[in-house]
Chain A
Amino acid sequence: MSRVINGLKENGTPYFFLLPCIVILGALLSVPLYKVVEYSLYDNVIVERNPTFVGLQNYSNLLTDSAFWSASVNTLIFTLGSVIGHIIVGTGLALLVNAEIHPRAQTVFRSLLILPWIFTAVVVALNWQLLLNPFGVINYGLTEIGLIDTPIDWLGDPAFAMWALLLISTWRGYPFIMVSFLSGLQSIPKELYEAAEIDGAGFFAKFWHVTVPQLKPVIYGVALLDLIWTFQLFPLVWLTTGGGPGRSTEVLSTMTFRQGFVDFEFSQAATTAVSILIISAAFTILYLRNEKQKI
């Protein structure tokens, strides 16, 4: 015993510093994680004092529920659409703010374009609701220039709600990609562009043959990370469309919330949450493997 204590005295300092982190991770991550998996195996947890163990019944319910499948499809559309939107807008803007212009203007544009990232989701959601409102600025602008005849309820019309949501999500998420790509762009040696210039490459050839291959490792890692984040994104969807109208923008995260805190079906909510967990974990493993390769 004294040897253990002595060993700790000698080598324990790093563990001592790690302790708060371990406690927080254990208490705030592992316990809820365990609980959610446990809940998904019982019936009527939380509302009933003595829930009954039902095994995988909740999972078979989930897989036969058409709402789950439509939410899955919506999640897929929302996630892929957002990530593609982030990459296109983020890449374009990264190229623009990487251009050689007056240094002060460069700083101003870089700072301005990062702004969407620093607002909380609530502020973003409320502002876009105002903008996209039938009586909002966007409808006013579009009718003024004659693109539409009557105002459209962008977030309330099942035909447009997902598109509007993707617009908001793209606006909100591109700065992360932009900043990551910008640092990637800045690390590309100038001589490569000069060599390509002498070889006769135009703007697109340079982009395709120099920029993209050089950014590839960054693109892959950042896109996966974005995929993981967007896949489980909740506040932006919940606060703009709330999954509606009807179920037209219902994603797995809003479905989980609805099952739990609207319908009080906590077991079913836990089951849906576990399905999100499994898919997110798969992406995360891919991401970690990619990062490891880079090292």
Chain B
Amino acid sequence: MSKIEIKKLVKRYGEHQALHGIDISIPQGEFCVLVGPSGCGKSTTLRMVAGLETISGGDVVIGDRVVNGLKAKDRGIAMVFQNYALYPAKTVYNNMAFSLQLSKMPKPEIAKRIADVAEILELTPLLDRKPGALSGGQRQRVAMGRAIVRDPEVFLFDEPLSNLDAKLRGQMRAEIKRLHQRLKNTIIYVTHDQVEAMTLADKIVIMKDGRIEQQGTPDEVFHDPDTLFVAGFMGSPPMNLIECFATDKGIKLPSVEIACDMPSAVRPGDKLVFGIRSDDIRPAEDGFEGVSISANVNLIEQLGTENLVHFSLGPDEMIGKTGGRTRITPNQEVSFTLQMQHAYFFDPETGRRLR
């Protein structure tokens, strides 16, 4: 078990630069999730840590060793692939045993290790089957078992749950979390699913276009986003983001003026992006305190325990939230409360948060 340091990591494919100096420090035993839209460089970063991609610049340190020049097998890592990459001709047992057999481990010890891991992952009855005869979730567990038997210093997960259906994904997410609590290995986990990132991570690294937008605990990146991109990316439904102008008392949206405290750097007349999560927009009847606005409801999305209320504010559409038993219906004029103490402001040019 060891820490991982990624220092000024650069990847170039010919002319194209895919990574522009990535710095991530992962203490021993931490669960680090790289998240971002496709093409942001998260998988490339992971594969460079794994040794499946060459490093164009910077260093990868696992434990106390710089592993840049080491082969994948010598880095003390194990990886779980998106489509599992199980050997189709081998049984579950032999899939898990392969790396141990290659390292010339004595047979009884291999058998013991696999028995232990199969027990943890409930794979014992499946050991004689081939991957083709397993369900998606079972294959996923075999892929994890194959990684665990090697007792690696570091686990790497490359979008491991994206091929599973929603229910199974939820189960496996919990299983991975439980496994981490039990084994306490250092983990780098790549996903494009921000729910997965929020639920699993000790640390979330949000990437975009080969650069890190922000890294921090799930709480930090969700409640204290540094950039417009992070604010829009984390959370479902996404944060409401609306262009507006600063006034001396607050902000001026196309159809309404809202009084609120402004960041000290903002001058009246500045162009801004105003952001507020739907949790902080409630119908007045819910009894929250804040700024009242009146708007026409377009759509109700029922999620059971809560409902999302889509409404128009001038040319912009916003999403608010209310309880599951609301009687608000579409095409109704409703008064909403904006909890402006939870509002965010961003510079539309740089995308940086204005504090």
Task: Give me the interface of A with B, judged by CB distance under 8 Å.
Answer: 189, 191-192, 194-201, 205, 209-210, 213-214, 216
Contacts and interface: CB of A to CB of B under 8 A. Distances in A.
B83 A195 contact: no
A200 B50 CA distance: 12
A137 to B, nearest CB: 43
Interface stretch (B74-82, B121-129, B162-170): B74-82
Contacts of A214: 88-89
Interface centre among A195, A196, A210 (most CB of B within 10 A): A195
Contacts of B146: 195, 199
Most buried by A among B51, B89, B146: B89
A194 B99 CA distance: 13
A213 B88 contact: yes
Contact of B52 (A194, A199, A201, A210): A194
A189 B102 contact: no
Contacts of B79: 194-195, 198
Interface of B: 50-52, 71-73, 77-79, 81-83, 85-90, 98-99, 102-103, 146, 150
A192 B102 contact: no
A201 B150 CA distance: 14
Contact of B99 (A199, A210, A216): A199
B81 A194 contact: yes
B130 to A, nearest CB: 11
What DSSP secondary structure best describes chain A's contact surface? helix
A197 B73 contact: yes
Nearest to A213: B89
Nearest to B77: A198
A198 B87 contact: no
24 contacts: A191-B81, A191-B82, A191-B83, A191-B85, A192-B85, A194-B50, A194-B52, A194-B81, A194-B85, A197-B52, A197-B73, A198-B72, A198-B73, A198-B79, A199-B98, A199-B102, A201-B73, A205-B102, A209-B87, A209-B90, A209-B98, A210-B87, A213-B87, A214-B88
Given A194-B72, A205-B102, 15 more contacts: A189-B85, A192-B87, A195-B81, A195-B86, A195-B87, A198-B52, A198-B79, A199-B99, A199-B102, A199-B146, A200-B102, A201-B102, A209-B87, A210-B87, A214-B88
Nearest to A192: B85
Contacts of B72: 194, 197-198
Contacts of A197: 51-52, 71-73
Contacts of A189: 83, 85
A210 B88 CA distance: 9
Nearest to B156: A198
A196 B88 CA distance: 12
**Chain B contact residues, majority secondary structure:** loop
B89 to A, nearest CB: 3
A275 B82 CA distance: 54
A194 to B, nearest CB: 5
A290 B83 CA distance: 28
Contacts of B86: 195
A278 B139 CA distance: 46
A210 to B, nearest CB: 7
Given A210-B87, A213-B89, A214-B89, A198 B50 contact: yes
Contacts of B52: 194, 197-198
Contacts of A200: 73, 99, 102-103
B128 to A, nearest CB: 17
A49 B71 CA distance: 80
Contacts of A191: 81-83, 85
B311 to A, nearest CB: 46
Given A191-B83, A209-B98, A198 B88 contact: no
B160 to A, nearest CB: 12
Contact of A195 (B51, B85, B102): B85
A24 B319 CA distance: 72
Shortest 6 CB-CB contacts between residues of A and residues of B:
A213-B89, A191-B85, A199-B99, A200-B73, A195-B85, A200-B102
Contacts of B103: 200
A118 B334 CA distance: 79
Nearest to B74: A200
B68 to A, nearest CB: 16
Nearest to B80: A195
Contacts of A209: 87, 90, 98
A201 B71 CA distance: 11
A216 B90 CA distance: 13
A103 to B, nearest CB: 13
A278 to B, nearest CB: 35
Nearest to B83: A191
Contacts of B89: 213-214, 216
A210 B90 CA distance: 10
A278 B97 CA distance: 46
Contacts of A196: 87, 98
A191 B139 CA distance: 15
A199 B85 CA distance: 12
